[in-house]
Amino acid sequence: MNAANGTKAGAPTRVLVINSGSSSVKYQLLDMTDHARLATGLVERIGERGGAADHAAALRQVADELDGQGLGLDSPRLAAIGHRVVHGGTRFTAPTLITDEVVTAIEELVPLAPLHNPANITGIKVTRELRPELPQVAVFDTAFHATIPEAAARYAIDLATADRYGIRRYGFHGTSHAFVSRATAALLGREPADTNVIVLHLGNGASASAVRGGVCVDTSMGLTPLEGLVMGTRSGDVDPAVVFHLERVGGLGTDEIDTLLNKRSGLLGLCGDNDMREIGRRMAEGDKAAQLAFDVYVHRLRRYIGAFSAVLGRVDAITFTAGVGENSAAVREAALLGLDNLGVTMDPVRNAVRGTGARLVSASSSRVAVAVVPTDEELEIARDTYALATE
Ligand SMILES: Nc1ncnc2c1ncn2[C@@H]1O[C@H](COP(=O)(O)OP(=O)(O)O)[C@@H](O)[C@H]1O
Ligand SMILES: CC(=O)OP(=O)(O)O
Ligand SMILES: [Mg+2]
């Protein structure tokens, strides 16, 4: 052992993180001795004109890009590859060393995450072909939510039917909720075990979670990443009868409704834009559709903040993260305005300051701290991967 960093002399210390999404592959190569990013990249527009033909081609492009930087997958310094896998079902509640049997089990979960899991599986298969002997680890979006109690995880539908089809709340963005809730405790100078946090992960996909003492007790996403908050292109909560209505009265097919709710709804559906920056610009010009989209987005957020305040009882912090949460002072302010009865007092000046690191944006007098914490899903995945690969 090397006393300085706890690793065996000459042992590989690098981890490649692969995040295969529905139309992109993101990757990062990290050195786990100092968490340095040696390479990061993104292959976009998979399956579109001018983009990679498919996910396998995108993964080979990633391997070539790393080769070109002298950081190829054949490097003896690579300790492991970590893959983000969106749906782990009830079977995978912790990071898992990938075997043929694990790949088959992730394939069996495709019906629960048809938009996400197939891309994750392709990523795993391509890198296993390239480095068959290297430890590869699946890190699941759902795992952090496995602790949610039955009262919050169950939908109130016929129990036998629910169990037969695996219908329950799984929750997603778990690596982000785990990382950010821990970082919030650190920012407050407290132990995660005595810190209660509401985490608002507001990216293209968006979800809220209630974390009590480091343990997740509720989250807004459900069976799939469609439920809950208003997102870039996803509706979040709707009355499920909307689906029957569109089928019976609108004559839409199941796949059309799936596409409508996942890809043509949310901010995009309400105003034609899914980027909060563009919505802000349009609002400044008095655009009514953009204003409506913003208002619906914020109203839904406030509902979940209220609900999760009640779920937790005592709230120590409300933390904003991901693209919108880290950058939109307007969303943060509108979401928390007038919540003094819940112990939340924003400091509008602190909130408006553009910053990059973890920071507080509440007034010093606020009983509940309001924080902005940049998420780092890749580092969380790399840590989980390295821990499992080197144990
Ligand atoms: N400066 C900004 N102000 C407001 N919103 C921003 C800003 N920068 C990024 N965003 C929002 O963040 C979103 C992307 O968030 P991100 O967490 O990167 O998404 P993803 O889910 O793709 O990882 C964009 O769609 C945009 O609306
Ligand atoms: C699960 C999910 O919603 O992921 P993303 O935000 O990457 O779309
Ligand atoms: Mg993201």
Q: In the chain, what are the domain boundaries?
A: 14-140, 190-377
Check if 141 is active-site. yes
Q: Would the pLDDT of 3 be above 50? A: no
Q: Would the pLDDT of 5 be above 50? A: no
Average pLDDT over residues 255-283: 97
Cβ of 205 closer than 6 Å to ligand 1, yes or no, is yes
Flag whether 133 is marked binding.
no
**Ligand showing the shortest atom-to-Cα distance for residue 225:** 2
Average pLDDT over residues 143-165: 98
Flag whether 341 is marked binding.
no
Q: How far is the CA of 317 from the centre of ligand 1 (A)?
A: 22
Alpha helices in 69-132, H assignment, sequence order = 100-108, 117-130
Question: What pLDDT, on the 0 to 100 scale, is given for residue 9?
Answer: 60
Q: Would the pLDDT of 88 be above 90? A: yes
Amino acid at 94: A
- For residue 205, give the ligand 1 atom closest to its CA: 21
Q: Strands of 14-20's sheet, edge to edge?
A: 36-43, 25-31, 14-20, 78-85, 136-140, 96-97
Q: Would the pLDDT of 199 be above 60? A: yes
Question: What pLDDT, on the 0 to 100 scale, is given for residue 45?
Answer: 84
Residue 59 near residue 114 (C-beta atoms within 8 A) = no
Atom 22 in ligand 1: residue holding the nearest Cα? 204
Provide the CA 250 distance to its chain's centre, in angstroms: 33
Flag whether 325 is marked binding.
yes
Q: How far is the CA of 142 from the centre of ligand 2 (A)?
A: 11
Cβ of 219 closer than 6 Å to ligand 1, yes or no, is no
Alpha helices in the chain, H assignment, sequence order = 55-68, 100-108, 117-130, 150-153, 159-165, 174-188, 241-248, 254-263, 266-271, 276-284, 288-312, 322-327, 329-336, 348-352, 377-389
Distance CA 106, CA 124 (A): 10
Q: How far is the CA of 159 from the centre of ligand 3 (A)?
A: 34
Please state, in angstroms and as integers, the Cα–Cα distance from residue 60 to each residue in 25, 67, 96, 119, 145, following that order: 11, 10, 24, 14, 32
Catalytic residue among 64, 74, 100, 141: 141
Q: How far is the CA of 207 from the centre of ligand 1 (A)?
A: 14
CB contact burial 123-142 (16+ within 10 A = b; e otherwise): bbebbbeebeebbbbbbbbb
Cβ of 175 closer than 6 Å to ligand 1, yes or no, is no
Q: Which pLDDT tens digit goes with each residue over 206-261? A: 999 999 999 999 999 999 999 999 999 999 999 999 999 999 999 999 999 999 99
Q: In terms of CATH architecture, what is 190-377?
A: 2-Layer Sandwich (3.30)
Cβ of 293 closer than 6 Å to ligand 1, yes or no, is no
CATH 3.30.420.40 describes domain 14-140? yes
Q: What is the mean pLDDT of the chain?
A: 95
Q: Which pLDDT tens digit goes with each residue over 29-72? A: 999 999 999 999 999 888 888 888 988 999 999 999 999 999 98
Distance CA 191, CA 100 (A): 39
Complex ipTM, two decimals? 0.98
Give the residues surrounding ligand 2 with Cβ less than 6 Å away.
21, 86, 141, 172-173, 203-205, 225
Q: Would the pLDDT of 7 be above 60? A: no
Q: Would the pLDDT of 296 be above 60? A: yes
